[in-house]
Amino acid sequence: MTNAPIPHGPLRSFGRLKSRPVKPRQQALLDTLLPEISIPTAAFEPRDLAPETTETWLEIGFGGGEHMAAQAGRHPHALILGAEPFVNGVASAVRHVEEQALGNVRIHEGDARDVLGWLPDACLTRVFIMFPDPWHKARHNKRRLIQPAVVTELARVLKPAGRLRFATDWADYAEWTIERVLADPAFRFESETADRNAPPVDHVTTRYEEKKLGDCAPVFLDFVRA
């Protein structure tokens, strides 16, 4: 099946695209390694990117790439797709890939909603959305990544029993996400009794998380695809 990207129009769900100049070594990796591990910018079959892997995971907005790289190192059986529009974050991620010799990571420098549109149905086992831009002012809430159209796409690309993890340190965004994800009958909580402030056993702490920029302790929401 060929899928068109989500019609997200002019609204961006992310902020700045670049901050400080990229370091020369990282720029060299952007020029040489990134083209080799880039996700195709059209409909594709994940298994064609790394035939030796048995699962495909997606991280939406991987920041500096430390979480994505750690998960890839721990789970060599999984192809991990990552999408991030922030150039400095992508530069950091390719450095992690090169230093750790990770052959199971593929990267899209851009909007993750496009990647969702290129993916075939029921191809992902896991999706991570770790501390996305909260757009915490009410007038900016419409820019939040978690919207009904994105939830619908996540339901489409996740396999039955596939898992979605969302983490945030903004209380309102946690409630916003619960409301919109559970409004789709394709999703349920992995555990109704889980302590949502307790990091999951397989969690990897990110640099953003350590900055404690939100208004609450980190909240971890694990959903399952019915």
Per the CB < 8 A criterion, the answer to whether 206 and 71 are in contact is no
* DSSP reduced 3-state for 190: coil
Determine if residue 109 is left, alpha or beta; phi over 0 gives left, psi from -120 to 50 gives alpha, anything else beta. beta
Please pick, among 133, 172, 184, 215, the residue that the annotation labels catalytic: 133
Tokens of 39: 């996700």
* Run of H or E residues at 149: helix 148-157
Residue 38 is given by DSSP the state: B
Nearest C-alpha neighbor of 178 from the set 108, 32, 169, 187: 187
Q: How far is it, in rounded angstroms, from Cα 197 to Cα 41?
A: 37
Per the annotation, the verdict on 133 as an active-site residue is: yes
Q: How far is it, in rounded angstroms, from Cα 95 to Cα 75?
A: 19
**Binding-site residues from annotation for substrate:** 137, 169, 206-209
Per the CB < 8 A criterion, the answer to whether 155 and 187 are in contact is yes
Provide the annotated active-site residues.
133
